[in-house]
A = this chain, B = another copy of it.
Amino acid sequence: MTDAAEVDAKAIFLTEYPKGAPQAEHFSMRDVDRPTPGEGELLLRTVWMSVDPYMRGRMRPDVKSYIPPFSLDAPLDGGAVSEVVESNSPNFAPGDYAVGFAGGWKTLHTAPAEAMTKVDPSLAPLSAYLGVLGMPGMTAWAGLTQILEPREGETLFVSGAAGAVGSLVCQLGKRRGMHVVGSAGSAEKCAWLEAEGGCDVAINYKDHAGPAAFTKALAAAAPKGVDCYFENVGGDHLEAALNVINLRGRMALCGMISVYNATEPPAGPPNLVNMIGRGVMAKGFIVSNYLHLTSEFLAEVGPPLAAGEIKFRESVYEGLDKAPEAFAGLFKGENFGKAVVRVGPDRL
């Protein structure tokens, strides 16, 4: 059980909108007032927080999106697993663990009880609720099942396949009887993808630089062409996918991490016209459009995860002060699987 008084109230502020790659200097960890839960609210101690590529989009103040941009000189927020330390709700008791979208980037936070979802530490490690059982897992499941309409025997290509989202897409595709091709940025990641991560073939894109070379590698790995493309990267990956996409191909646009830090308008794919003659559909999405399907997601992923049939990897950063570094690492290919920050111990 937590003694809340032992936890210093700190939060990480965004001090400047990054131009280009985010750096430590764009962030500042500051002492903040201890939050006080109101009626129906909880006081929570953040245990694990998530850093995710979508947060980069919230650091652009001028872009229309489903999610509002972060404010400058205010605490950031994001997904976190937290321990309940005080509860003004009959549905939570101190010592419960819960996941929600507001606890990130801080040590203590309040939240309306209905904004938090209780989690079961016996089903999976707490941090998994930020990854394979959390928002990235739901993202993977939603893109695959709700956009790509996968069919047994089809070929699925997943870029960023060793990431939090991509690695589950690959495994879910494989479980549905697809030929799965993934791309990642190191031999170690590719070896894991082929051994455990659901890929029939994993391509180290660093060995095939440029759209022509990557197209050739992808065509070799997907001899029947690509029916479904799960897009996390953009750039050469998208161009190559458009080169080998089949008639009636589908593309779930989940992320384009290669362009998130662009300071000049990035080059778009020159071959978008292929979508016309091949009748290709592409749909961008963010996970919050699919949250009403959470129980379906958990029903598909929970049991095989608990049985050890679904694998996941994590890159763990220790301490709230490391959160900016963890976030910046997302854009350097430094992380393997889900990047999480341990803000505090499981139990004090």
Contact = CB atoms under 8 A, between A and B. Distances in A.
A289 B277 CA distance: 11
Contacts of A260: 273
A273 B286 contact: no
A270 interface: yes
A256 interface: yes
A21 B63 CA distance: 37
Contacts of A255: 276
A279 interface: yes
Interface string A273-290: 111111111111110010
Interface stretch (A9-17, A123-131, A186-194, A261-269): A261-269
Contact of A284 (B66, B239, B280): B280
Contacts of A267: 267-268, 270
A284 B279 contact: yes
Contact of A254 (B254, B274, B276): B276
A271 B273 contact: no
A239 to B, nearest CB: 8
Contacts of A278: 64-66, 284
A18 to B, nearest CB: 16
A81 interface: no
Given A234-B272, A270-B268, A277 B286 contact: yes
Q: Which of A67, A239, A278 has the most chain B CB atoms inside 10 A of its CB?
A: A278
A247 interface: yes
A4 interface: no
Given A65-B278, A278-B66, A279-B66, A256 B273 contact: yes
Nearest to A284: B275
A253 interface: yes
Q: Which of A64, A247, A271, A284 has the most chain B CB atoms inside 10 A of its CB?
A: A284
Contact of A277 (B66, B266, B273, B277): B66
Contacts of A282: 275, 281-283
A259 interface: yes
A281 B282 CA distance: 6
B283 A67 contact: no
A260 B273 CA distance: 9
22 contacts: A63-B277, A64-B247, A64-B278, A65-B278, A234-B273, A253-B272, A253-B276, A254-B276, A255-B276, A256-B276, A267-B267, A268-B268, A268-B269, A268-B270, A268-B272, A275-B282, A275-B284, A276-B285, A277-B284, A278-B284, A279-B285, A279-B289
Interface of A: 57, 63-67, 234, 238-239, 247, 253-256, 259-260, 265-286, 289
Given A66-B278, A256-B272, A265-B270, 9 more contacts: A63-B277, A64-B247, A239-B268, A265-B271, A266-B270, A267-B268, A268-B271, A275-B284, A276-B284
Q: Which 6 A-B pairs have the closest CB atoms?
A: A268-B268, A65-B277, A275-B284, A265-B270, A276-B284, A268-B269
